[in-house]
Amino acid sequence: MTKNTRQAGIPGKDMYVNAGYLFNSRVPFREKKKPLRILSAGTYRLYTWPKLPTLRPRGRVDWQIIYIAAGKGHFILDDREVIVPAGNMVLYQPKQVQNYFYYGEDKTQIWFVHFTGLEVRNILRQYEIPTDRYILQTGLSRDYENLFRRMRNELVSCSWGYEEMLTFLFRELLVTMHRRMTEKAPKVSGFVQDEMDRARTYFEEHYAEDIHIEQYAASRNMSSSWFNKSFRKAMGTSPMKFILEIRIRNAQVLLETTDYSISDIAALVGYDNPLYFSRLFSKAKGLSPSGYRKAFRDQFMSEIPSDDLP
Strand 135-136 relative to strand 80-85, pairing: unpaired
Domains of the chain, by residue range, sit at 15-182, 190-300
| Per-residue pLDDT tens over the stretch 108-121 | 999 999 999 999 99
Q: What is the mean pLDDT of each run of 10 residues along the chain (310 residues)?
A: 42 77 90 95 90 94 96 93 94 96 92 97 96 91 92 95 97 95 68 84 91 93 92 88 93 91 94 95 94 86 54
- pLDDT recorded at residue 12: 45
Same fold, 15-182 and 190-300: no
Q: Which residues pair with 54 in a beta bridge?
A: 100
In tens, the pLDDT along 193-202 reads: 788 888 988 9
pLDDT at residue 304, as a whole number: 52
d(CA 124, CA 149): 21
What is the CATH number that goes with domain 190-300? 1.10.10.60
pTM for the structure as a whole? 0.65
pLDDT at 174: 97
Provide the CA 284 distance to its chain's centre, in angstroms. 30
Position 165 scores a pLDDT of 97
Q: Which fold does the domain 15-182 belong to in CATH?
A: Jelly Rolls (2.60.120)
- Report pLDDT for 98: 96
